[in-house]
Amino acid sequence: MAINSKTPIIIAGPCSAESYEQVIATAKALSECTKITAFRSGVWKPRSRPGTFEGAGDVALQWLKEVKAKYNFPIAIEVATPEHVETALKNDIDILWIGARTTSNPFSVQELASALKGANCQVMVKNPVNPDLELWIGAIERVMKAGCMDVTAIHRGFYPYEQTPYRNIPKWEIPIELKTRFPEIPIICDPSHIAGERALVAEVSQYALNLNFDGLIIESHIDPDKALSDARQQLTPENLIKLLRSLEFRTDQEEVSISQLENLRHQIDSIDSQILELLSQRMNATMKIGRYKSKHNIAAFQLKRWKNIIRSRIETGSTLGLDPEFVKKMLQSVHKESIRVQNEVMKKSKH
Ligand code: PEP
Ligand code: MN
């Protein structure tokens, strides 16, 4: 059985293969759901710090072979080195994916692409850790140039340099732009690594389906709280199956394919929510400034500072192609609100 983009691609399985029992029990439970089209599992895990669980390694490939034989699932694993590719291909792995950290490094991607030459397998390319669409496209192109034309992109979100409700910020406008430029490349969403929390996986999954993604790759573990990696975001097979039942899938993708206008609107929605998050952070900083000023008896409005803000923001704005009058009006409105908030803070600290 191969995955294809005519029916939704649903890949499920644990973050890491940890033991024979964990892999088989998870696969058995997931095999109850016909929506699931492939089984995922990390065999070699890229971890931030050494000394943490780095995957069970080669022995896990035997467990996965058993999953394939018993439950008829195509098997997907992550590869990060040419040796991984070679070992995976020798062990009949059906789908190889390139992880976010690897996609970030064109040297590594090229080494993987060279190792993939002549292999007739499906390859999935996760987005790089940074929101760099060209780097993502570059990795896909390297794999295709090696002759692997069956490529699927995985959107797993981007490292958040600011606070967000998610582990990785989705920046939906980036996968939308990928889809716009390469409509023939299927793209699936990894809501587990975006959400980082099991309670948020459903909303991210539905959002991706609303954007007409071709499917999902979701982490599931037979006993998530005891998982050796990504424990917080993994779902029990039972909860994953419930989640899949609750999602609204688009039934007739070709006829109802999203128009360009809708795509652009979704880009705007995603950007607006990022603007609002940043504005809320700005207001929090404003409140702290208000408290400081109040304590030290400094006036809320400071002409010199305000003039500096206007001048520097207009300058930055014009390098970004923004009209100076627009930047000025927007800042006046934000500044007015900042002064109001500081005034409130000062009133409160007086009583
Ligand atoms: C994973 O899928 O478990 C994984 C390591 O993901 P990413 O490369 O997106 O961090
Ligand atoms: Mn994981």
DSSP letters spanning 54-89: ---TTHHHHHHHHHHHHH---EEEEE-SHHHHHHHH
Question: What's the confidence (pLDDT) of residue 251?
Answer: 56
Q: What sign does the CA torsion over 255, 260, 261, 266 have?
A: positive
Same domain, yes or no, for 154 and 29?
A: yes
- Please say which residue of 253, 278, 303 terminates a domain: 253
Q: Whose CA is nearest to atom 4 of ligand 1?
A: 99
- Please say which residue of 253, 271, 286 terminates a domain: 253
CATH (domain of 85) = 3.20.20.70
Count of structural domains within the chain: 2
User: Which of 11, 41, 78 for a ligand 1 pocket mutation test, highest count of atoms within 8 Å of Cβ?
Assistant: 78
- The CA distance from 198 to 83, in Å, is 33
Asked if the structure places residue 107 within a domain, the reply is: yes
Same domain, yes or no, for 248 and 289?
A: no
Asked if the structure places residue 4 within a domain, the reply is: no
- Name, in order, each residue with C-beta under 8 angstroms of 121's C-beta and a sequence gap of 6 or more: 89, 93, 94, 95, 96, 148, 150
- The CA distance from 109 to 244, in Å, is 32
Same domain, yes or no, for 205 and 338?
A: no
Question: What's the confidence (pLDDT) of residue 1?
Answer: 35
Host domain of residue 134:
9-253
Same domain, yes or no, for 18 and 90?
A: yes
Same domain, yes or no, for 24 and 77?
A: yes
Q: In the structure encoding, which two tokens stand for residue 267, read together? A: 């880009």
Q: Whose CA is nearest to atom 10 of ligand 1?
A: 100
- Please say which residue of 253, 288, 318 terminates a domain: 253
How many other CB atoms are found less than 10 A from the CB of residue 21? 10
Same domain, yes or no, for 316 and 272?
A: yes
Question: What's the confidence (pLDDT) of residue 254?
Answer: 55
Q: What is the pLDDT along the chain (351 residues), one digit of tens a residue?
A: 344 446 899 999 999 999 999 999 999 999 999 999 999 999 999 788 888 899 999 999 999 999 999 999 999 999 999 999 999 999 999 999 999 999 999 999 999 999 999 898 899 999 999 999 999 999 999 999 999 999 999 999 999 987 788 999 999 999 999 998 999 999 999 999 999 999 999 999 999 998 989 999 999 999 999 999 999 999 999 999 999 999 998 654 455 456 778 888 888 998 999 999 899 999 999 999 989 988 898 888 888 988 999 999 999 999 999 999 999 999 999 998 998 998 888 888 765
CATH (domain of 329) = 1.20.59.10
Q: Whose CA is nearest to atom 1 of ligand 1?
A: 15
Question: What's the confidence (pLDDT) of residue 6?
Answer: 65
Same domain, yes or no, for 205 and 267?
A: no
Decide: 40 in ligand 1 pocket, CB within 6 A.
no
Decide: 193 in ligand 1 pocket, CB within 6 A.
yes
Asked if the structure places residue 1 within a domain, the reply is: no
Same domain, yes or no, for 227 and 145?
A: yes
Asked if the structure places residue 189 within a domain, the reply is: yes
